[in-house]
Chains A and B, each alone.
Chain A
Amino acid sequence: MREISVFDVIGPNMIGPSSSHTAGALRIASMAHRLMDGPVKKIRFILYGSFARTYHGHGTDRALLGGMLGFSTEDRRIRDSFRLADEAGIQYVFECNTTEQDVHPNTVKIIAEDRYGKITEVVGESIGGGNARLRQINGVSVDIAGELQTVVVQQLDTPGVIAHITQCLYEEGINIAYLNVYRENKNEHAYSVIEADGELPASLAERLKKIPAVLQVNLIKL
């Protein structure tokens, strides 16, 4: 069990009104935003459970949009995120799904398209106290909190990729705290999620991308 910090109790510093419906929602969107390579153009948010029922009064919609605009949970611009998204030419729509029962009560699916037409789809859960977890990336089940320095590598499911990744981390002098590999079907796309102690250098992404089986690398530390 991770120890409880004084800042878990005196914190997080956040835009209200609800740690789970506002701050946690924003963290999901922030992670989605960081998984995108290109500038965001269109976003579809599908809200489930309590998110679907109370999103308006909790400003969950503004928080989600704020996360996709790259704002932190402390950013006062969250209140104005509709206007700021409009000004940035971003199209967005919120849909509610109140029929799906088999989901965590505070779940959102984000389907985002960048300027080049590339689509990133994530499912995230706001699990309380402003914390959140990503549960799916592009249909592949994952479990990512974004609390430590985290690298998400999208890769082909072929032999040798993990060896390459760990070699790169070794060469950069990075100590791995957790390494998880997620995939849906054999020989298709897989995701490696590496959580590390200390800072991750920018050079890591370039090093990882040197082999063709590594398709995309994103750093999602929040």
Chain B
Amino acid sequence: MRNFKNGAELLALCRQTQLPISELMMQREIKYFEGSRDEIEDRMSHAWEIMKESVREGQTEGNRSMGGLIGGEGHKVSARRMQGRTLVGETVSKAMAYAMGVLEVNASMGLIVAAPTAGSSGVIPGVFCALQEDFGFSDDEMVRALFTAGAIGYLITRNATVAGAEGGCQAEIGAASAMAAGAAAELFGADPETVLSAAASVLGTMLGLVCDPIGGLVEAPCQKRNAVGASNALVCAEMSLAGVESLIPFDEMVEVMYKVGRSIPYELRETALGGIAAAKTACELCGRCS
């Protein structure tokens, strides 16, 4: 197979081979990293098991973060849903609660999969576990969908960035949410064009989001942004599946995101010098700001 370097090349390859994005990403991995299909599948299954375990761990009340800013929020959101009082519906409530919980696991030195980063590690497990529970997808289907998510993350990493220090939160949570949206669309039978359209819609809707963690820690507002990234993935997948396409193609949207990222001031790119991190109360919370 040929390598693909952007969304247009990927879609051309999909048309030519009549294969889904997940399969082409698998074939690319076999070709460039000298592993067998079984080895690569096993490795991805292992990542999926860690994701599921991090969701389970995140739903307990006992997670206290190292910085002390978060702990127990995912459990609270789930408790309300379990009382039958959810406002946003079962699946979105689960996705956001699970995403928040995984961030608690991460912030309390638990085991997570950085997908694509540790700061955005709640989004994909949140969306994936909610979809598996509510729609009965098998583990094999979820593992395959992780390759779709991986393809989108690879294209964003290659042609832009997924680092908050470089592109702000729009690059981290934005990428995670785009990856989850595309994967969700493929799980529900979307063709490759629709998958990338969902991802493009995510990037467009999270454009400009800054990275301003209180005290420089991966806790707040990161946890809530993981919740929003997870729900936004479902919103954008829903739009794409309904035929509401992104007007701007995926590749152009990645470029737009990168340009916007580079124009975000230094103070708003993970340095904890601006935004929420510089709010009066944030300074009091972390006790380090002068």
Contact = CB atoms under 8 A, between A and B. Distances in A.
A128 interface: yes
Given A16-B106, A50-B216, A57-B217, A3 B114 contact: no
A19 B218 CA distance: 10
Contacts of A50: 216
Contacts of B114: 11-14, 19, 23, 129-130
Nearest to B31: A3
Interface in B22-67: 25, 28-29, 32-33, 40, 43-44, 46-47, 50, 65-67
Interface in A16-36: 16-19, 22-23
B115 A16 contact: no
Contacts of A6: 25, 28-29, 40, 44, 147, 150-151, 154
Contacts of A128: 163, 165
A181 to B, nearest CB: 27
A17 B157 contact: no
A12 B51 CA distance: 12
A10 B218 contact: no
A17 B216 CA distance: 11
B169 interface: no
B108 A129 contact: no
Given A50-B216, A56-B66, A128-B165, 5 more contacts: A13-B46, A15-B111, A16-B121, A23-B114, A79-B108
Contacts, number: 130
Contact of A16 (B118, B153, B215): B118
Interface string A42-61: 00000000100110111100
Interface of B: 3, 25, 28-29, 32-33, 40, 43-44, 46-47, 50, 65-67, 105-119, 121, 124, 146-147, 149-151, 153-154, 157-158, 162-163, 165, 179, 215-219, 288
Contact of A59 (B66, B113, B117, B288): B66
Contacts of B107: 16-17
Contacts of B118: 14, 16-19, 22-23
B2 to A, nearest CB: 13
Main secondary structure of the interface of B (DSSP, over half): helix
Given A9-B150, A78-B109, A3 B66 contact: no
Contacts of A199: none
Interface residues of A, number: 34
Nearest to A79: B109
Contacts of A4: 154, 157-158
A96 to B, nearest CB: 13
Contacts of A172: none
B66 A57 contact: yes
Contacts of A58: 66, 217-218
Contacts of A185: none
27 contacts: A3-B3, A4-B157, A6-B150, A7-B43, A7-B150, A10-B47, A10-B113, A10-B115, A10-B149, A11-B114, A12-B114, A13-B47, A13-B112, A14-B111, A14-B112, A15-B110, A15-B112, A17-B65, A17-B66, A17-B106, A17-B118, A17-B217, A23-B114, A57-B216, A62-B109, A74-B111, A129-B163
